[in-house]
Chain A
Amino acid sequence: MLNYILRKLALIVPTLIGISICAFAFVRVLPGDPILAMAGQHGVSPERYEILREQFGYNLPIWQQYFNYVGNLLQGNFGTSLATKRPVLNEFMTLFPATVELAMVAMIFAIGVGVPAGVLAAVKRGSWIDQIAMSVALTGYSMPIFWWGLLLMMFFSAYLGWTPVSGRIALSFFLKPITGFMLIDTLLHGNWPAFVSALRHLILPAVVLGTIPLAVIARQTRSAMLEVLGEDYVRTAKAKGLSSRRVVSVHALRNALIPVVTTIGLQVGLLLGGAILTETIFSWPGIGKWMIDSIFKRDYVAVQSGLFLIACIVMAVNLIVDVLYAVINPRIRVQ
C-alpha cells in the first residue's frame, strides 16, 4: 500500500513542476508591465523603475527568476496582492473555508439525492421511476448553472421571498470566526437565529453547485448498479432467499459504490470550476469570486498564486481519491 502511494506521489512531482511553470509564465505573458501595475495610477520615475526592477528581480535572466519564484513557493511565500497589499496566502486562507463549506454542502446534497435516485432507477429499470430519474439527471447534466442560479434566485428569492439573494449571513450578525465555517461557528456561539440565517444563505448556492455532480452521480450509480445486479453473487444471494432489500443494500450497493467513489472524487475539480460561477451569482465571498475579481482587477500576483494553489488542491484531492480507491478495491494495488 505504501508502495502504491509513493508511486502516485512520484507521478505528481512532474505535474507540480508543470503547474509552477504555467503559473510563472502566466505573469510573464500577461499584457502590461507588472511594475507599472504595482505603481498604480501615479506611475514611477525611470530611476525608481530601475530600482524596483532590481528589487523584484525582473532584471535577472528568466530561468533565474523562475528558480527564485519556486524557492519562494517552497518557503510558503506566495507574494503580496497588488490590490490589497496583503499576503496572498492570507487572503486565500480567509476565503477558502467559505468555498469549502459551500462545496461540502453541495456534495452532501448531490450524494444524498444522487445515490438513492441511481439505485432506485437501476432496481426499477425501465419503469416510469427510471425514466423520470434519468430524464431529470440528463437535464441537470446539461444545465448552464449560472442560468439555473438566476432562475432559482428569481423564484425563491424574488418571487417567494424565502431566501436571501447574496452573501453568507445577514449583516446584522457579528460573529467572531472560529473555524471559518459559518454553520459550525454559529452553533459554537450558540446563536440559533444566526445559524438559521447562515443556512438560508447557503441553501440556494449549494443546490446550484450540486446540480451537475448530482446528475453525474445518479447516472453513474445507476449503471454501476445495473452491472452489479447481473453478477453471480447477487443471483446467489437471491437464491439463498435473502430479501431483495438486503440483496440490493448489502450485496449490490457496496460493490456498485466502488466506481461511484471515483466519480465523486473527479467532481471536486469541476466543483471548484463551478464555484466561480455560483459564487459570482450569489456574491458568495469564496475563492471563486476572489479569482474572478482578481482577474478583472489585473491582480497578477493573486491570480498566479490562486491558480497554483487551486491546482495543488485538485491534485491533492485526486491523490486521496486514488488511495481511497485502492483501499476499497485491492485489485488496483497490484497493477
Chain B
Amino acid sequence: MTEITNSPAPVSALKTSGLAEFWYYFSANRGAVIGLGVIIALVLIAVFAPWIAPYPPDQQFRASFKAPPFWYEGGSTAFLLGTDEVGRDILSRLIHGARYSLSIGAIVVAIASSVGIVLGVLAGYFGGWVDNVIMRVMDVILAFPSLLLALVLVAILGPGLLNAMLAISLVLQPHFARLVRAAVMAEKNREYVTSAKMAGAGHLRLMLKTILPNCLGPLIVQATLSFSNAILDAAALGFLGMGAQPPTPEWGTMLASAREFITSAPWIVTFPGLAILITVLAINLVGDGLRDALDPKLKRS
C-alpha cells in the first residue's frame, strides 16, 4: 500500500529534473533567451492590445493623412510611428496586428501538426500500403512550391484570413508527417515497444501513449519552425491581396498598398515589415535554442 502511494513522488521529481536539465541547456543559448523574452512581450501586447494601443486600429484622423513619425520633421507625439494613407495611427494598427500574426501561427501549427502527426503515426506504425499511400500524397503536396500551392488553394476557397490559414496548414503539414513517420519507424522495433505489446497494449495505446511521446523532441523544433513559416506565408498572402482583407490590421495586408509610398512616406512601408521580422526572428531564435537543448547529438559536442 505504501509503495503505491509513494510511487508518484519519484516520477514527478524525474519530470522536474528533466525540465531543469532542459532549461540548463536552453538558457546557455543567449539568443534563445532573448527570443523568448520578445515572444512573451509580444503575447502580452497581443492580449492587452485594446488597452495599450493609443487609438482603435481603424479610426481615421482626417486632419492627418500620412503624418510622419515623431522624430521626423513635422511629426508629432500624437502619432508616435506616424499615420497611413487614410490617417490611421500605425502604432495602434501594429499593436492590434500582433493578435493576428500570433493567432495565425498558433492555429496553423495546431492544425498542421495534429493532421501531420496522425498521418505520420499511421504511416510509420502500419507501414506497407498505408505508408505508401500516405507518403505518396505527401510527396505530391511537397512537389509544389508551398507559397504557390497556398495561393492556388486560396484562389479556390476565396481570399480571406481563415482560408489562408487552412491553405498554409495544408502545405506545412507534410513536414510533420514525414518527421513523425521517420521517428515512429525508428522507435517501433525497440524493446520497450515490444514489451508494451506483450503486456497487451492495443494499437491505439501503442501508437499514442508508448511511441509518440518519444518522438516529441524533433516535433517541438518543427512546430517552432512552422510557427514562423506560417506567419511569413500568411503575411505574404496578405501582401498579395489573398490573405486577411483590408481594413484588417494584419501586418502583411498593411504592406499590400505600400509600394506606392516608397518615395512619399517610407514609414508606411518600414514598420509593418519590421514587426514581422522581429516576431519571426524571435521565434527562430527560440527554435535554435530548442534544437540545441532537445537534440542529444548536438548536446554532447
Which of the segments A57-65, A113-121, A180-188, A268-276 contacts the partner chain? A268-276
Q: Could you tell me if B270 and A151 are in contact, using CB atoms closer than 8 angstroms? A: yes
Nearest CB in chain A: distance from B298 CB, A = 9
Chain A contact patch, size range: 35 or more
| Chain B residues within an 8 Å CB radius of A272 | 145, 148
- Which residues 260-284 of A have a CB within 8 angstroms of B? 269-270, 272-274, 276-277, 280-281
B127 contacts A by Cβ under 8 Å: no
Judge whether A15 and B151 touch: CB under 8 Å.
no
Chain B positions within 8 Å of A226 at CB level: 301
* Alpha-carbon separation in the docked complex, A277 to B266 (Å): 20
User: Which secondary structure dominates chain B's binding surface?
Assistant: helix
Among the listed B158, B232, B285, which residue makes an inter-chain contact with A144, where contact means beta carbons less than 8 Å apart? B232
State how many angstroms separate the Cβ of A184 from the closest Cβ of chain B: 26
Contact of B143 among A29, A143, A153, A315 (CB under 8 A): A315
Given A150-B262, A154-B269: A144 and B136 interface contact (C-beta under 8 Å): no
**Of B17-25, B44-52, B275-283, which binds chain A?**
B275-283
Q: Is the CB of A150 within 8 A of B255?
A: yes
**B 135-163 binary contact with A (CB < 8 Å = 1; else 0):** 01101101111111101100110100000
B residues in contact with A148, CB < 8 Å: 273
A96 at the interface (CB under 8 A from B): no
Q: Determine whether A44 belongs to the interface, using a CB cutoff of 8 Å to chain B.
A: no
- What's the tally of chain B residues with a CB closer than 8 Å to chain A? 44
Q: Is the CB of B156 within 8 A of A26?
A: yes
Distance between B288 CB and nearest chain A CB, rounded to angstroms: 7
User: Cβ of A143 and Cβ of B140 under 8 Å apart?
Assistant: no
Is the beta-carbon distance between B144 and A310 smaller than 8 angstroms?
A: yes
A30/B156 contact (C-beta < 8 A), A15-B136, A138-B284, A142-B277 known: yes
Task: Tell me how far the C-beta of A122 lies from the nearest C-beta in chain B, rounded to whole angstroms.
Answer: 13
Contacts of A303 in B (CB 8 A): 152, 155
Q: Which residue of A lies closest to B153 (CB)?
A: A26
Check A258 for interface membership: any CB of B closer than 8 A: no
Give the complex CA separation of A146 and B242 in angstroms.
14
Closest to A226 in B: B301
Say whether, besides A144-B236, A151-B270, A151-B273, A230 and B147 are in contact (CB < 8 Å).
no
Complexed CA–CA distance, A45 and B240 (Å): 36
B277 with A147: CB separation less than 8 A: yes
- Which chain A residues have a beta carbon within 8 Å of chain B's beta carbons? 11, 14-15, 18-19, 22, 26, 29-31, 135, 138-139, 141-144, 146-148, 150-151, 153-154, 157-158, 226, 230, 269-270, 272-274, 276-277, 280-281, 291-292, 295, 303, 307, 310-311, 314-315
